[in-house]
Chain A
C-alpha cells in the first residue's frame, strides 16, 4: 500500500514536470535583439539606453509579458563601430530575434540597412537624421523625433514666440548638421523667414570664433545651432564672448548635459529642441520616472536616453501583440501602431511613414541655472 502510493506520487510528479515543460514550450520567450555602443566614443549614449531597455523588458515581463510570453533580450555591444554593428545584426537575425533595437549612431544605421533587407528583421533606430527613413527600406523604423519636425519647431519658435524676422544658422559639416540645414533652408523659404547667414563648422572644431564673426555681421534676430559633440559647447562660449545678444536655439545634440555643463554661463538662456523636459513628467513617463527614482534617488530627472530605450521595447511589444506573436508579421504589426502613447509621445507607424513620433512630441526647453526647463511642447 505504502509502495503503491510512492509509485503514484512519482508518476504524479513526472506528469507535473511534463505539463510544465509543455506549457513552457508553448510560451517560448520572445527574443529581442539590442545592438548598442557599450564601449567606444558613443558609449555615453548606449549605456543609459541599454539600462532603460532592460528596465522596460523587466517591467513588461513582471506585468504578464506579451500575450503571456516573456521578452528575452539579446544584448550586443557594437563598440561604436559600423562593422561590428553589421556583424551584430547578422548574428542576432540568425539567433531568431523578432526585431533589433539600435544602433545609436547615424552612420551605423546606414551601414546595417542592407543587412535588414537580407534578413527581413526590423530595426528601431534612435536617430534624428532625416535620411534614415528615406532609404526605401521597409525594415527601418525611427524611434525618435525626426529633424524634419525639429527644424520646423525651431523656426516656428523663433518667428512666433521670439518674434525674430530673420535667422542665422550655424551647423556642423556631418550628416546630422547638413541634412538639418537643408531642411531649415526649405522650411524657412516656405515660412518666409530669410536666413541671413549660414556657416558650416567642422565636426570636432576647437574654435568657432571666425564662423561666429561672419554670422553676427549679418545681425540676425535669432541663431539656430545644429550639431553635436564638444564643439557645441565651444560654439556657445564663443558666441557669448563675441557679445552675441540674439537668442540661440540649439539642436537635440546641443541639449546634452555634458555640453551644457562645459559651456557654463554661456549656456544660460539658450533654447533647445529636444524630446523631453526633465522638469515636466507626463502621465506616460510616470511609471518610468518612479522606477528610476527608486533606483537613482528622488532628485533623478529623466533623460532622453531613459525615454527612447523604454519606448522602443514597448513599441515592439505592442507590434508583436498586433501580429499575434508571429515573427514573420512583426513589420505588419509595427505598421498597425496607431497613436501609441509612450514616454516620448504618441507613436504612429504606417506602411507609408516610419517616422513614429510627430511634431506634437517636440519640446522646446530653456537652460536655467544649468538645468533644462520646459517652455513649449508640440507644434
Chain B
C-alpha cells in the first residue's frame, strides 16, 4: 500500500468514526438521565435523514429550513415517546424501559416502511463541489461537516453536563433518582428533556450523514449497533467517550480492511470491542460507573 492509500483509509476511518460518534452521543444523553439504553436511537437518526430528504425533495424547502424542521420534529418524537410510553412506567426497571424503546424502534421502522417505502432517500451535500485532495487521498466535504459539528456538539454537551444547572440535575437523576427528587429536582421534566435533546441530536446526526450514507427505513439498527459500540468502547456516560470510541471504532474498521479481507470489517471491529471491554470493562476513558464509585469513596 502506498502512503496515499494509507492516508485514505485513515480519512475513511475518521469519517465513518464521526458518524458512529454522533449516533453514540444520542445514546449517552438518555443514558445520563435515566440509565436506559434507548434502542430507538438509530430510528431517530434515520427519521432525521428521511424527513430532511422529503422536505428538500418533495416539499421543496430550502436546506437550512428543512434541517430545522427535521430536528424539531424528531425532538418532538422524543418527547412523545417519553410522554406516551416511558413516563407511564417510570417505576419499571431499566430493563423494562429498554425493552419499551426496542418496541418503539420496531414501530418507527415499520411506519417508515409504510410511509416512504423501501427505496433509499438522499439529498445533496451541504457544500457542493469536488472533494478535497490531501497528498493523493480524498476528503469529502460532507465529512468535514460531520466531524466538525460532531466535535462542536461534544464540547457543548460537556459544558452542559458539567457547568449548567439542568445538565447537573440530569446526571443527578441517573445516579440516584429518589435522592434527586428529594433535593427538589423535577425528575419527570428532566427525563422528558433528555428524550427531546436525544431525539434532536439523533435527527441532527441523520441530517448530517444522509448525504454520505443515504437514508433507508431499515438502517436504524445497524447505526444504533455501531453507536452503541462506540459508547461502550469509550465508556458510557461521557460525551467525550462517544467521540473517542466512535473514532477508534472507525479507525479499527479501516485498518482491518487494509490488512484483512474487507468482508471481515464488522467482525474485526466488534471483536476488538469485546477484547477492549474485557481488559477495561468501563471503556477506554472510564465510564460513569467508575466515577460514581470514586465519588462514593
Is A259 at the interface (CB under 8 A from chain B)?
A: yes
Contact with A along B116-131 (1 / 0, CB 8 A): 0111111010000001
With a cutoff of 8 Å between Cβ atoms, the chain A residues found around residue B12 in the complex are 207, 209-210, 213
Among the 9-residue stretches B151-159, B252-260, B272-280, the one with 4 or more Cβ atoms under 8 Å from chain A is: B252-260
Is A43 at the interface (CB under 8 A from chain B)?
A: yes
In whole angstroms, how far apart are the Cα atoms of A305 and B117 in the complex?
17
A-facing residues in B1-59 (Cβ within 8 Å): 1-2, 5, 8-9, 12-13, 15-16, 19
Is A217 at the interface (CB under 8 A from chain B)?
A: yes
In whole angstroms, how far apart are the Cα atoms of A202 and B264 in the complex?
9
Is B177 at the interface (CB under 8 A from chain A)?
A: no
Q: Which of B131, B216, B222, B265 contacts A241 (CB 8 A)?
A: B131
Indicate if the CB atoms of B16 and A207 lie closer than 8 Å. Answer: yes
Indicate if the CB atoms of B8 and A262 lie closer than 8 Å. Answer: no
With a cutoff of 8 Å between Cβ atoms, the chain A residues found around residue B218 in the complex are 41, 204
Indicate if the CB atoms of B120 and A259 lie closer than 8 Å. Answer: yes
Indicate if the CB atoms of A41 and B119 lie closer than 8 Å. Answer: no
In whole angstroms, how far apart are the Cα atoms of A227 and B33 in the complex?
42
Indicate if the CB atoms of B263 and A207 lie closer than 8 Å. Answer: no
Q: Which of A200, A210, A262 contacts B122 (CB 8 A)?
A: A262
In whole angstroms, how far apart are the Cα atoms of A243 and B163 in the complex?
46
Q: Which residue of B lies closest to A172 (CB)?
A: B263
Indicate if the CB atoms of A204 and B15 lie closer than 8 Å. Answer: no
Is A199 at the interface (CB under 8 A from chain B)?
A: yes
User: What is the total number of residues of chain A having a CB less than 8 Å from a CB of chain B?
Assistant: 30
B-facing residues in A213-266 (Cβ within 8 Å): 213-214, 217, 229-230, 233-234, 241-243, 258-259, 262, 264
Q: Which residue of A lies closest to B257 (CB)?
A: A210
Indicate if the CB atoms of B118 and A213 lie closer than 8 Å. Answer: no
Q: Which of A199, A230, A262 contacts B262 (CB 8 A)?
A: A199
Least Cβ–Cβ distance between B193 and chain A, in angstroms: 30
Is B87 at the interface (CB under 8 A from chain A)?
A: no
Indicate if the CB atoms of A230 and B258 lie closer than 8 Å. Answer: no
Q: Which residue of A lies closest to B212 (CB)?
A: A207
User: What is the total number of residues of chain B having a CB less than 8 Å from a CB of chain A?
Assistant: 40
In whole angstroms, how far apart are the Cα atoms of A352 and B140 in the complex?
52
Least Cβ–Cβ distance between B106 and chain A, in angstroms: 13
Indicate if the CB atoms of A173 and B263 lie closer than 8 Å. Answer: yes
In whole angstroms, how far apart are the Cα atoms of A230 and B214 in the complex?
7
With a cutoff of 8 Å between Cβ atoms, the chain B residues found around residue A214 in the complex are 5, 257-258, 262
Indicate if the CB atoms of A204 and B222 lie closer than 8 Å. Answer: yes
Indicate if the CB atoms of B262 and A210 lie closer than 8 Å. Answer: yes
Q: Which of B5, B222, B253 contacts A217 (CB 8 A)?
A: B5
The answer to whether residues A211 and B257 also contact, given A202-B263, A233-B214 and a CB cut-off of 8 A, is yes
With a cutoff of 8 Å between Cβ atoms, the chain A residues found around residue B209 in the complex are 206
A-facing residues in B83-127 (Cβ within 8 Å): 113, 117-122, 124
Indicate if the CB atoms of B254 and A233 lie closer than 8 Å. Answer: no
Is A38 at the interface (CB under 8 A from chain B)?
A: no
Contact with A along B235-275 (1 / 0, CB 8 A): 00000000000000000011001100111011000000000
Indicate if the CB atoms of B261 and A200 lie closer than 8 Å. Answer: yes
Starting from the known contacts A214-B258, A233-B122, 10 additional A-B residue pairs (CB-CB under 8 Å) come to A40-B113, A42-B118, A206-B219, A206-B222, A206-B223, A210-B257, A214-B262, A229-B120, A230-B119, A234-B212
Chain A residues within 8 Å of B, Cβ to Cβ: 40-44, 173, 199-202, 204, 206-207, 209-211, 213-214, 217, 229-230, 233-234, 241-243, 258-259, 262, 264
